[in-house]
A and B are shown apart, each in its own frame.
Chain A
Amino acid sequence: MAKNKISEKPKVAFFDFACCEGCQLQIANLGETLLDVLGAVDVVEFREVMSEKWDKDYDVVFIEGSIGDKHAEERLKKIRERAKVLVAYGSCAALGGVNGMKNGFEIDEIRRYVYGDKYSYFDSKPTKAVDQVVKVDYYIYGCPVYLPEVVEVIKCILKGVAYSVPDKPVCAECKLNENVCLYDKGVVCLGPWTKAGCNSWCTSNGNICYGCRGLVSNPAKNQANDIIKKYNVNEKIKVLGEELMKKKIEMYNKAKEVK
């Protein structure tokens, strides 16, 4: 955590890198809580909602998006220099997110595919999460971020204490919400490997867990086959087994190199 004490009403800025900006948009969905948050902080830069710029130091910056080229790296480093507290905001920033899928290909192959023959004019590098470039003080995972967690982290920042992302699988929260296990329904879910903290947002609403919050620190390694063996999932899944799980996990976690 940044040593520098943040001001009473901290100057807050939002910046986006390679992302869909959906996590920033979530701020608008805070509803009434937004008013409380705005009472506690001073938003000085937020391209999605305002045109003003800030030329002094920031107390808190929220970084959305992953880092995909040299220019972005430099820009991020400059922001870090001006910020007392830096938050990796959303899965792209916190773990590379879906942009990390790029890392499964040869970089030039990707550049040619996206930019055509003149690709050499356009820089592109393997996707990095924010903490692979600069120091991160707070992590907010999720695609998109889970708002109650965002508010929790904001409170921690204001109070000056660390926020620890729960290091247990999504199942832990899903079970407490008394959902029917998706494997009971014959669908494959990444809950058993993914970090909790979203209060099983997707699975409580009938969706599977896509692993958007990244893996727990010590994920169970060889258990996918045990799970598939127990449940009545379709034949294709049975054949693919662990390989399928790995592919699914890579969707969000490729930038952090899944083993």
Chain B
Amino acid sequence: MKYHILEKKNLDCFIKNLLKKMKVVAPVERGSGNYSFAEISSADEIKCDYVPTILPPKKYFMPQREKIMDFKEDGDVKESCYIDGEKIAVFGVHTCDLSGLQCLNIVFNDKPVDHNFLMRKENLFMIGLECNKYCDEYASCALVNAHLPNGGYDLFLTDIGDKFVINVNTQDGEDFVESIKLPQASAKDMSELEKIREEKKKIFKNEIDVEPSKIPQIFEKSYNSKVWEEVANKCLSCGNCTNVCPTCYCFDMEDTLNLDLKSGERIRKWDSCQFETFARVAGGENFREERSMRQRHRVYRKFKFPVDKFNRFFCTGCGRCSRTCMAGINLKEILVKLAEEVKF
């Protein structure tokens, strides 16, 4: 592992050098305590101290609306599939979101692989940023062990006062820091980093009174829990919780025609299991008709199904679902209630 140093006063220089090579996106302020990843042209625009953005950076890996193919009817139909190969540096990604992207990476590498996701991933230069303290009360990253860096980035920055320690994880990352001649971290810098990690151990503690190792057993027994009814009574079926989730990837396909009615495109767009229509079939039968079933499904897709299939929680503790829920449905509360019910 290589570590370099970036003086905070040189952050703008760092960004400007990145901009010479590619588009740069970073967390920016959006007002009323909201942030989003957006294109920047200088370091002044970046908010390093931010609460998870409205949408996670998955939007760069799997855009909200993504053209899958063009088609043209001319006797027979000809279709062509491609992505725009724009290089983007995503700066300031928290560990929760890096963890989310790893979850998506697992899913889209599962056969048949998703070429769109994988090819977009190749074009993204990921620069992580460590949280030295909690963003807010909705986070539960320690519960799922996503509060520390665990790969998924080219470079990873940790704030140690007036400078960042940069952990270099890939050759691309190394090439970049070498190209701008960032000095290697000294022993003193490394001990500062160590100190921060020690400090984090005191700050980041399992946010709920439930052992993570017990969670799979809880979900073995919670399928018919009353909690789902309680949650359903609040749920608006607006899909906010899934749209903002860094590990939700359900999608819908849509064909749009041009007015010539002969050419058009197939679009992949984000969908949500919370929508009334999600599990409905053309004949009218709806296989997840009740809000309680849909809410249960969402939570099972974080704590049960992926554990069975990939041996990993698909919750990264970012807290977005609870933060964004207008009706105040809180994931941590759901987990606590389920645990109480099955009496662990």
Contact = CB atoms under 8 A, between A and B. Distances in A.
Interface of A: 33, 36-37, 39-40, 151-152, 154-155, 158-159, 167-169, 171-172, 175-176, 178-181, 183-185, 191-193, 216-218, 220, 222-223, 226-227, 229-231
Contacts of B326: 171, 181, 183, 192, 223, 226-227, 230-231
A176 B32 contact: no
B60 to A, nearest CB: 12
Contacts of B261: 40, 155, 158-159
Interface of B: 30-34, 36, 54-55, 59, 64-65, 233-240, 243-244, 256-257, 259, 261, 270, 272, 275-277, 324, 326-328
B243 A220 contact: no
B55 A223 contact: no
Contact of A152 (B64, B233, B256, B270): B256
10 contacts: A39-B259, A40-B259, A167-B277, A168-B275, A169-B238, A175-B55, A175-B244, A181-B326, A220-B236, A230-B328
B259 A155 contact: yes
Q: Which of A152, A155, A176, A193 has the most CB of B within 10 A?
A: A176
B58 to A, nearest CB: 12
B328 A180 contact: no
- 8 pairs of A and B residues whose beta carbons are closest in the complex: A171-B238, A226-B327, A184-B32, A220-B236, A230-B328, A176-B64, A180-B34, A36-B259
Given A168-B277, A172-B243, A218-B237, A180 B54 contact: yes
B32 A185 contact: yes
Given A167-B276, A218-B276, A184 B33 contact: yes
Contact of B31 (A40, A159, A185, A230): A185
Contacts of A168: 237-239, 272, 275-277
Given A37-B259, A176-B270, A171 B34 contact: no
A175 B236 contact: no
A20 to B, nearest CB: 28
B151 to A, nearest CB: 27
Contacts, number: 108
B31 A172 contact: no
Contacts of B32: 180-181, 184-185
A175 B256 CA distance: 22
Contacts of B30: 178, 180
A181 B320 CA distance: 13
A221 B67 CA distance: 36
Given A175-B54, A226-B328, A192 B236 contact: yes
Given A172-B275, A229-B328, A178 B36 contact: yes
A183 B327 CA distance: 11
Nearest to A154: B259
A167 B324 CA distance: 21
Nearest to B53: A178
Nearest to A179: B54
Contact of B238 (A154, A158, A172, A218): A172
A163 to B, nearest CB: 12
A227 B327 CA distance: 5
B257 A159 contact: yes
Given A159-B261, A178-B36, A169 B236 contact: yes
Given A180-B32, A184-B33, A226-B328, A220 B257 contact: no
